[in-house]
Amino acid sequence: MDFSFTEEQLMIQDVARRIAREKIAPSAEHHDRTGEFPLDNIRLLGENGLMGIEVPVEYGGAGMDPVAYVLAMVEVAAGDAAHSTIMSVNNSLFCNGILTHGTEEQKRLYVSAIAEGREIGAFALTEPQSGSDATAMRCRAVKQADGSYVVNGKKSWITSGPVAKYIVLFALTDPDKGARGITAFVIDTAREGFSRGKTEPKLGIRASATCEIEFNDYVVKADEVLGQEGEGFKIAMGVLDAGRIGIASQAIGIARAAYEATIEYVKERKAFGAPIGTFQMTQAKIADMKCRLDAALLLTLRAAWTKGQGQRFSNEAAIAKLVASEAAMWITHQALQIHGGMGYSKEMPIERYFPRRQDHRNLRGDQRDPATGDRPA
């Protein structure tokens, strides 16, 4: 693995950092408080290639590699976790799946709009009764004589569901075959038979809208099947592997923001006549924060590099996600403790970083949603 970055990778990192600091971070408190979807900022990210970093230029993306994706994702997540969640779903779950398994027509029709930030994409795997056990799904797609499918059923915890134009959907086409009876489709949410439930009132990542979706005799055309019939489960698992790199990157961005805010705070906050950063216990905590942050970053870059080499990266992605998620939880907790009462106050951003960590139930490389940390979307 080469630890140096290319000029192009550093360039897109710089673009992401600039947007995160100038546009995203200043509006993060507003979007978190109101739950308002940050559409203008997302379109700005798209205009700068950040909603389709690994998408080839001919499909509206930046045409870059997984390492560039990690570098950019970290910067956006440091600005605000909700923005990075939307960015992660568009890049890892939506565009990646269609680029890997879609037809040329599907790539041009669906990927370009999402990669350019003109539309929002989503990924629908989870159902009310099936989370990590995706094979327990009940959403059905019944094939018709003309090759189309009629879909009925519900999906839950769909990240970007309230605003998505297109959704990659997984439904049963042959229940008797279990995992081999699941097929992937691309859904146009403007079509009759599709409806959305209420936006979930979440603890954190509130500007990233999440909802339940429902299909009532929704007709999917034959050319809207993604891959081949019965390949849906394999497609979903492959997409989630890529998604874990995105989630690890998000966790690193959140942790870095908490770490950097703590460094500044301990220089200014005084106790017993001295800055608290001069106290040995505080220094020990900060040293441990830095060690965990660097370890998480290196493991995530390893996973991204392995993916970029065209090698199997499932284990590397799962390890990176586990370590980065736990590091984010630990680092933000320590940051809150060092800030004391001010860490709990909404006058400072620390309280926002803390609940934005990925749920501990989502740290073992399982099939839960890499975009929300609650359950797979």
What's the mean pLDDT in 153-163?
Answer: 95
* Percent of the chain topping pLDDT 90: 82
Residue keyed to tokens 């005084």: 270
> pLDDT value at position 365?
36
pLDDT in tens, 222-235: 999 999 999 999 99
The residue extents of the domains of the chain are 7-120, 122-231, 234-362
**Mean of the pLDDT values across residues 59-70?**
96
pLDDT value of residue 183: 97
For residue 57, what pLDDT is reported? 95
Please state which CATH number belongs to domain 234-362.
Answer: 1.20.140.10
pLDDT of residue 376: 37
Tell me: pLDDT of 131 over 80.
no
Q: DSSP labels for 110-169?
A: IIHHHHTTSS-EEEE--BTTBSS-GGG---EEEE-TTS-EEEEEEEEEEETTTT-SEEEE
Query: Is the pLDDT reported for residue 78 higher than 90?
Result: yes
Mean pLDDT of the chain: 91
pLDDT above 90 (res 373)? no
Average pLDDT on 52-71 reads 96
Mean pLDDT of 117-131: 90
Q: Is residue 51 very low, low, confident or very high in pLDDT (cuts 50, 70, 90)?
A: very high
User: Of residues 206 and 166, which shows the higher confidence score?
Assistant: 166
Topology classification of domain 122-231: Butyryl-CoA Dehydrogenase, subunit A; domain 2 (2.40.110)
- Tell me the mean pLDDT in the region 107-124: 95
CATH hierarchy code of domain 7-120: 1.10.540.10
User: What pLDDT is attached to residue 366?
Assistant: 39
Whether the pLDDT of residue 377 is over 60: the answer is no
Confidence of residue 352 (pLDDT cuts 50, 70, 90): confident
Alpha-helical runs (H) found in the chain: 7-19, 25-34, 39-47, 66-79, 81-88, 96-101, 104-106, 112-115, 232-268, 280-308, 314-339, 341-344, 350-353
What's the pLDDT band for 353 if we cut at 50, 70, 90?
A: confident
If pLDDT is split at 50, 70 and 90, which confidence band does 354 have?
Answer: confident
Residue with tokens 């519900």: 154
Band (161; pLDDT cuts 50, 70, 90): very high
Above 80 in pLDDT, residue 86?
yes
Asked if residue 358 has pLDDT above 80, the reply is no
pLDDT of residue 1: 65
Q: Which of 138-152, 268-282, 290-304, 355-369 has the lowest mean pLDDT?
A: 355-369
Dihedral of CA 68/72/78/84: which sign?
A: negative
